[in-house]
Amino acid sequence: MNDLLLQEATELPQEKLIRRLCAALAAYLEPAQIEAVYRAYRRAAESHQGQFRLSGEAYICHPVSVALILAGVHMDVKGIMAAILHDVIEDTAITKEQLREEFGEEVAELVDGVSKLTQLEPKSRAEAQAQNVRKMVLAMVKDLRVIMVKLADRLHNMRTLSAMAAPRKRRIARETLDIYAPIANRLGMNQIRLELEDLGFKALYPRRYRILEHALKKVRGNRKELVSTIESAIKSRLQEAKLDCTVSGREKHLYSIYQKMRNKKIPFREVLDVYAFRIVTERVDGCYRALGLVHNLYKPIPGCFKDYIAVPKANGYQSLHTVLIGPYGLPIEIQIRTEAMHRVAESGIAAHWLNRAEKEQVTDSQARALEWLRDLLEIQKNAGDSLEFLDNLKVDLFQKEVFVFTPKGDVVKLPRGATIVDFAYAVHTDIGNTCVSARINRRLAPMQTALENGQTVEIVTAPWAKPNPLWLNYVVTAKARAAIRNHLRNFKKQEAIKLGGRLLDKELNALGFDREDISQARTDELLCAWEMSSLDTLLEDIGLGNRLPFLVAKHLCQKEGKSGIRHDEVEKGSFSPLIIKGTEGMVVNLAKCCRPIPGDPIIGLFSPGKGIVVHLNECKNVIGVKRQTNWLDVEWDSEVAGDFPVEIRVELKNQVGTLASVASTISKMGANIENVQITNQDDEISIDHITLLVKDRVHLAGIMRELKNLPVIERISRVKAELRKKT
For 315-361, the pLDDT digits (tens) are: 677 899 998 888 877 788 899 999 888 877 776 665 555 554 344 44
Please state the domain extents for the chain.
12-204, 208-358, 486-636, 644-719
Distance CA 599, CA 703 (A): 15
Looking at 1.10.3210.10, 3.40.50.300, 2.40.160.20, 3.30.1280.10, the CATH number of the domain 12-204 comes to 1.10.3210.10
Q: Is 426 exposed, middle or buried (0-12, 13-18, 19+ CB in 10 A)?
A: buried
Its CATH architecture, for the domain 208-358, is: 2-Layer Sandwich (3.30)
Give the pLDDT mean for 176-191.
Answer: 80
Percent of the chain with pLDDT over 70: 79
Give the pLDDT mean for 81-102.
Answer: 88
Q: Say what the pLDDT of residue 513 is.
A: 78
Distance CA 504, CA 253 (A): 65
More confident residue, 75 or 565: 75
Indicate whether 288 pLDDT > 90.
yes
Alpha carbon 705 to chain centroid distance? 52
Give the pLDDT mean for 524-534.
Answer: 78
pLDDT (tens digit per residue) in 583-596 = 666 667 788 888 89
The residues near 43 (Cβ < 8 Å, ≥ 6 apart) are 85, 88, 94, 102, 103
| Helix 61-71 with 31-47: angle, nearest 10 deg | 150
Q: Say what the pLDDT of residue 362 is.
A: 46
What are the residue numbers of the active site? Answer: 90-91
Distance CA 356, CA 350 (A): 11
Distance CA 696, CA 700 (A): 6
Indicate whether 659 pLDDT > 80.
yes
Indicate whether 245 pLDDT > 70.
yes
Judged by average pLDDT, the poorest of 37-41, 352-356, 546-550 is 352-356
pLDDT (tens digit per residue) in 382-408 = 555 555 555 555 555 545 677 788 888
The closest of 235, 320, 328, 236 to 275, measured between CA atoms, is 328
Distance CA 312, CA 315 (A): 8
The closest of 304, 322, 335, 325 to 230, measured between CA atoms, is 325
At 574, is the pLDDT very low, low, confident or very high (cuts 50, 70, 90)? very low
The overall average pLDDT reported for the chain is 79
Indicate whether 475 pLDDT > 50.
yes
Judged by average pLDDT, the poorest of 69-73, 292-296, 528-532 is 528-532
The full DSSP string for 247-280 is EEEEPPPHHHHHHHHHHHT--HHHHHT-EEEEEE
Give the pLDDT mean for 510-534.
Answer: 77
Give the pLDDT mean for 471-485.
Answer: 84
User: Residue 316 — left, alpha, or beta (φ > 0 → left; ψ -120 to 50 → alpha)?
Assistant: left
Distance CA 450, CA 351 (A): 35
More confident residue, 486 or 360: 486
The 3-state DSSP class for residue 712 equals coil
Judge: domain 644-719, CATH 1.10.260.40.
no
Give the pLDDT mean for 445-469.
Answer: 86
The closest of 300, 293, 343, 295 to 318, measured between CA atoms, is 343
Q: Say what the pLDDT of residue 129 is.
A: 61
Q: Say what the pLDDT of residue 378 is.
A: 62
Give the pLDDT mean for 225-253.
Answer: 86
Please count the residues of the chain. 727
Q: Are 208-358 and 644-719 equal in CATH topology?
A: no
Q: Say what the pLDDT of residue 66 is.
A: 92
Cα–Cα distances in Å, from 345 out to 250, 311, 316, 341?
Answer: 14, 14, 8, 6
pLDDT (tens digit per residue) in 4-34 = 444 455 577 888 889 999 999 998 888 999 9
Distance CA 483, CA 467 (A): 9
At 203, is the pLDDT very low, low, confident or very high (cuts 50, 70, 90)? very high
Give the pLDDT mean for 431-437.
Answer: 89
Indicate whether 87 pLDDT > 80.
yes
More confident residue, 244 or 372: 244
Indicate whether 252 pLDDT > 50.
yes
612 DSSP β-pair partners: 588, 606
Percent of the chain with pLDDT over 90: 15
